[in-house]
A and B are shown apart, each in its own frame.
Chain A
Amino acid sequence: MAQVKIVSGSGDDVLLDYNPATANMAEVNAFIGNLEKQTGGKTFSETTGEIVRNVTPETGDVLHVRPIAGG
C-alpha cells in the first residue's frame, strides 16, 4: 500500500491510502492537486526526496509539506 501523508502536529498524518497496483492514479493525482491548491504546499517522494508532479504506481509514499515562512 502507498500513502499520501501530510506533516502535522501529531507527526505525519496519512491522508490517503491506496493500492498502487489497482488504484486509479488519475484520482490520486487529482487528490494531491487539490491538496496543493488548498495549502499552497508541495508534495515530495519519501523515497527520492524529489518533488512529485505526477504520482505513478512506482512512486511509493509521498509527503505533503505546507509552505514555511522565513524570518
Chain B
Amino acid sequence: MRNWNSPFMNIVHGIAVTINVTAGLFQLYFRHGHFAIHAAIQFGVAGFIIGLNIWAGIAGRKVARMRARLRDLQIAETEMRLMSDTDRIAASQKAIALLHRIVKATGATITEGPSIVDPAAIYGGLTVQIHIGGADYIILVGHIYRIREGIVQAGTCYHPPMALPWGDCIASALLLLKNDPSIFERWQRQDQYYS
C-alpha cells in the first residue's frame, strides 16, 4: 500500500493510462476489425488503473492517519512511563478534580461501591452515571453501558487517542456523550475516532 502512491508508481500509472487511452482512441479512429471491443478494453484498463489509484490514495490517507495517532499514543505512553511517581500522582489528582467539575457541570453523579455493571467493584468501585433521553449511562474507564428500566441494554468500549489518567478518560467520554448521545452507537460501530 505504501508504494502505490510513490512518485515512480504515479509516473508508471500515468504512462499506462496514457498508452491505453491513446490506443483506444486510435481504435475508434481507424476502425479496423473489432475496433469497438478493443477500444472498450483499452478504456476499461485505463479506468481500472485510475480507480485503483483513487482507492489507494483514500486507503493510504486512512493508514497515514492511523499511523499518526498510534505514534501520538506511543509518545504519550512513553511520557507517562517516564513520569516520576510524584508527577503521576499529581496528574491523577488533577484528573480526579477535573472529573468532579465535569460531573457537576453535566448533572451526572458519582457513586462508590458495586454497581449493576460492576458488582465486584473491580473498576475501583467508582462509577459515573448520567441520565440522557430516557436511558441511564454508566461510564467506566474504557466502557460505557446503557441501562433502561434497570436492565443493561447495551454496552460499548471507547479508547481515547492517548494514555490518560482515568479521571480525564471518564470526563472526556462524559462530555462527548452528554452533548451527543448518538456517539454511543458510533463507538459501537468502532470504525474510527469520533468527537
Q: A residues within 8 Å of B by Cβ?
A: 7-12, 40-42, 44-51, 63, 65-71
Contact = CB atoms under 8 A, between A and B. Distances in A.
A41 to B, nearest CB: 5
A7 B187 contact: no
B102 interface: yes
Contacts, number: 119
Contacts of A8: 76, 162, 164, 168
Nearest to B83: A10
Contacts of B93: 11
A40 B174 CA distance: 18
For the complex, would chain B's binding face be called helix, strand, loop or mixed by DSSP majority?
A: helix
A9 B91 contact: yes
A47 B105 contact: yes
B3 interface: no
A41 B186 CA distance: 15
Interface string B167-184: 010011111101100000
